[in-house]
Amino acid sequence: MKDETKCLHSGYTPKNGEPRVVPICQSTTYTFDSTEHIGQLFDMPTAHMYSRFSNPTVEAVEKKIADLEGGVGAMCTSSGQAASLLSILNICSSGDSFISTATIYGGTVNLFAVTLKRFGIECIFVDPDAPAEEVQKKFKPNTKAIFGETLANPALAVLDIQKWVAIAHKNKVPLIIDNTFATPFLCKPIAFGADIVIHSTTKYMDGHALQVGGVIVDSGNFDWSNGNYPEFTTPDESYHGVVYTRDFGKAAYIVKNRMQLMRDFGCYPAAHSAFLLNLGLETLPIRMERYCQNAKIVAEHFQQSDKIAKVVYPGLKGDKYYDLAQTYLPKGTSGVVSITIKGGRENAVKFMDGLKLASNEVHVADIRTCVLHPASATHRQLTDEQLVAAGINPGLIRFSVGLENIEDILADIDQSLAQI
Ligand code: PLP
């Protein structure tokens, strides 16, 4: 099946007389005929037993996303933050380190640089465009993974995934990609060699600003028995001595994440949230096409204004990342455009407050056009140095183009620019 078809049909196939739409299975628990059956499930989780770590509605969405990304399995989480957290904790313990590109979402920088540090896990930040030899120098004997965003929020740097795959695999560690802005419709990191893909499903996948959620997808391709990851190849005493690589083969990473971390942290989404996410996924391809189309027109429009100092949109010829975008995002580079207004922070705020159609809100990748000033919101906690490393200057505005008629979006921009 192609993506458009997968979005509608993967993950749930009703049998004769069953509901056409994925049903909301609103139950915390599941009943069995015998104690022995429940006991067996604790050895081998072949059925749902408790909705803190699996549920039929959520499972349908997990299967759909795994299919779209080309993975062997997926696990939904209650937020994108939870997905980032568990993707790392499944590999790194206290005393370990991992490498991350510096141009990632501000909340993830906070999680990696501050909170994981308190867990004894060190994140080593590097420039995503650094040559391989420079990245190599950052590796330590305890480095367990590399993390990066396909299309960075909000710098819109396009990651050279194949370069990072080569570096990761040379060092026998997995590459984890946050594919939130691209979605599997615009880019499939696993097809380029990435090992793990995560998303904030709160963004384009949902698209309607209805649920906060995340997902982790396992490619099934990484060799966890390469000597670097003993917790995959030795008995897990907290789970009846299971050996993940031996007992779950290619699905070792995602099963370990669910049965160990989701069991203990419990950040699983509600069935109703998964139902809403599924509605968004059903129209993802058609929405992504229109987001990309509208955003390119908006980016070109901004380029023509003498009030704008800089427009960043990798789909524009001449953009620093245009060539990489042609390789990794040939169908388009999402609906997000980053602009820098002349006159710095003051004019940025004036422009945003002058918009009538576009909402000023803490969100991005919505069906409705919305704007945000990262330096005073999502990236507020970053130091000026970290802001520069993340590709953000104080006048930068993240303009998330929605699905309104393009003429209305342009008219709104023009009336607000005219006030500056
Ligand atoms: N990853 C990216 C690229 C994001 O933009 C965000 C949120 O903006 C997150 C992760 C965190 O996701 P959530 O807000 O769903 O926790």
Residue 121: pLDDT band by 50, 70, 90 thresholds? Answer: very high
Number of other CB atoms surrounding residue 276 within 10 Å: 20
Beta-ladder partners of 397: 339
- Check: pTM over 0.85? Answer yes or no: yes
d(CA 8, CA 393): 40
Tell me: the pLDDT tens digits for 165-214?
999 999 999 999 999 999 999 999 999 999 999 999 999 999 999 999 99
Query: What CA dihedral angle connects 286, 289, 293 and 299, to 10 degrees?
Result: 120
Fold (CATH) for 285-417: Aspartate Aminotransferase, domain 1 (3.90.1150)
- Counting from 1 in the atom list of ligand 1, the atom nearest the Cα of 213 is 15
> Closest Cα to atom 13, ligand 1: which residue?
80
Place of tokens 């005393």: 95
pLDDT above 90 for 83: yes
pLDDT for res 376:
79
CB 283 within 8 A of CB 213: no
Q: Which residues line ligand 1 (CB under 6 A)?
A: 79-81, 84, 105, 107-108, 149, 153, 178, 180, 200, 202, 212, 214
CATH number of 3-279: 3.40.640.10
**CA 153 to ligand 1 center in whole angstroms:** 9
pLDDT for res 311:
97
**CA 261 to ligand 1 center in whole angstroms:** 20
Give yes or no on whether 3-279 and 285-417 have one common fold. no
Nearest residue to 222 via CA among 291, 159, 171, 276: 171
**CA 236 to ligand 1 center in whole angstroms:** 31
pLDDT above 80 for 381: no
Show Cβ contacts of residue 114 under 8 Å, excluding neighbours closer than 6 positions: none
Sequence spans of domains, the chain: 3-279, 285-417
